[in-house]
């Protein structure tokens, strides 16, 4: 079974530029998450989707960050304009969720996209 | 905000020794999970313990949960150099006591180094 795919793995941009990250979850996983992990810290949830609807985006800086999950499969996370403090690893994760009436609670993570803002 | 707080922040041991990491949290939970992260990689799920469970085992891993103290511990027995990684606890407090919708809040992590 293929894991969670993310791209690009690395991105370096200047502040005020824009960047987009892509995630393809494990097939059949209804729930998709974007986490931000700053160096030396634990992951912080930015947004959670259930199918193509948003479950939680309370910690997403909506003035500069946006995310979508069209058709309830893959997802993109965009930052525009980027700030220095956005330098971090952006992790995508997926889980079965309740789409099939099963909840295991386990999240499957991708390798992450490392963003450096200069 | 970070729900779980791991202790210690860093742990250095010799191969074959046991490693114990602790996690404390603040609110009622549905379940608590432990994840491992190797340097530069994504997180890997290790074990999940539900709020009505007190202890769980998986291979060389043993997890305990004390909901009265709002704390959990992860024990890795007979550690190996390959266990070197960061370990995170994550709490699922979404609709605690009811139907979880799977929102996890991670702690800061414990960096474990196992010397050969």
Contact state of A105 with B108 under an 8 Å Cβ cutoff = no
For residues A67-90, give the mean pLDDT. Answer: 95
> Which of A25, A39, A43 to probe by mutation at the B interface, max B CB count within 10 Å?
A43
Q: What is the pLDDT of residues B55-112, one digit of tens each?
A: 999 999 999 999 999 999 999 999 999 999 999 999 988 765 555 677 899 999 999 9
Is pLDDT of A95 > 80? Answer: yes
Q: Which residues pair with B104 in a beta bridge?
A: B92
- Write out chain B residues lying below 8 Å of A108, CB-based: 45
Confidence band for A101, pLDDT divided at 50, 70 and 90? very low
Is the minimum CB–CB distance between A101 and chain B shorter than 8 Å? Answer: no
Whose tokens are 């005020």? That residue is A16
For B9, which residue in chain A has the nearest alpha carbon?
A40
Burial (CB < 10 A; 0-12, 13-18, 19+), residue A16, is: exposed
pLDDT at B2 over 90: no
Cβ burial, residue B57 (10 Å; 0-12/13-18/19+): exposed
A63-67 long-range contacts, CB within 8 A, separation 24+: A67/A34
Q: Among B42, B44, B90, B110, which would you mutate to test the A interface (most chain A Cβ atoms within 10 Å of its Cβ)?
A: B42
Does B107 contact A at CB distance below 8 Å?
A: yes
Return the closest-CA partner of residue A111 out of B44, B41, B92: B41
Nearest in space to B90 (alpha carbons), one of B25, B19, B20: B25
Name the residue of chain B whose CA is nearest to A92's CA.
B42
**pLDDT, tens only, A31-78:** 999 999 999 999 999 999 988 899 899 999 999 999 999 888 999 999
Task: Determine the pLDDT at residue B100.
Answer: 63
pLDDT at A1: 66
What's the whole-number average pLDDT of chain A?
Answer: 92
| Beta bridge pairs of residue A75 | A23
Cα dihedral A26/A51/A20/B2 (nearest 10): -90
Which residue of A105, A108, A112, A115 to mutate against B (max B Cβ within 10 Å)? A105
CB contact (8 A) between residue A103 and residue B42: no
Give the model confidence (pLDDT) of B7-61 as tens digits: 899 999 999 999 999 999 998 888 999 999 999 999 999 999 999 999 999 999 9
Both structure tokens of B38: 């190797």
Residue A115 reports pLDDT greater than 60: yes
């Amino acid at each position: 079974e293929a894991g969670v795919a993310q791209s690009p793995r690395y991105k370096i941009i200047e502040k005020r530029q824009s960047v987009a990250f892509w995630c393809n979850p494990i097939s059949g996983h209804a729930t998709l998450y974007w986490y931000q992990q700053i160096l030396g810290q634990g992951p912080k949830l930015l947004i959670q989707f259930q199918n193509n609807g948003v479950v939680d985006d309370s910690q997403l800086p909506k003035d500069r960050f946006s995310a979508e999950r069209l058709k309830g499969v893959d997802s993109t996370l965009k930052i525009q304009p980027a700030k220095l403090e956005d330098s971090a690893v952006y992790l995508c994760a997926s889980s079965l969720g309740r789409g099939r009436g099963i909840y295991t609670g386990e999240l499957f993570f991708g390798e992450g996209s490392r963003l450096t803002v200069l | 905000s970070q729900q779980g707080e791991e202790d210690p922040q860093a742990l250095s041991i010799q191969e074959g020794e046991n490693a114990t990491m602790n996690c404390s949290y603040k609110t009622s939970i549905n379940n608590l999970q432990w994840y491992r992260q190797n340097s530069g990689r994504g997180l890997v799920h290790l074990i999940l313990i539900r709020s009505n469970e007190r202890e769980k085992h998986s291979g060389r891993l043993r997890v305990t949960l004390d909901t009265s103290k709002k704390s959990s511990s992860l024990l890795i027995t007979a550690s190996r150099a390959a266990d070197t990684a960061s370990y995170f606890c994550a709490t699922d407090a979404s609709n605690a006591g009811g139907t979880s919708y799977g929102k996890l809040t991670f702690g800061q992590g414990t960096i474990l180094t196992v010397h050969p």
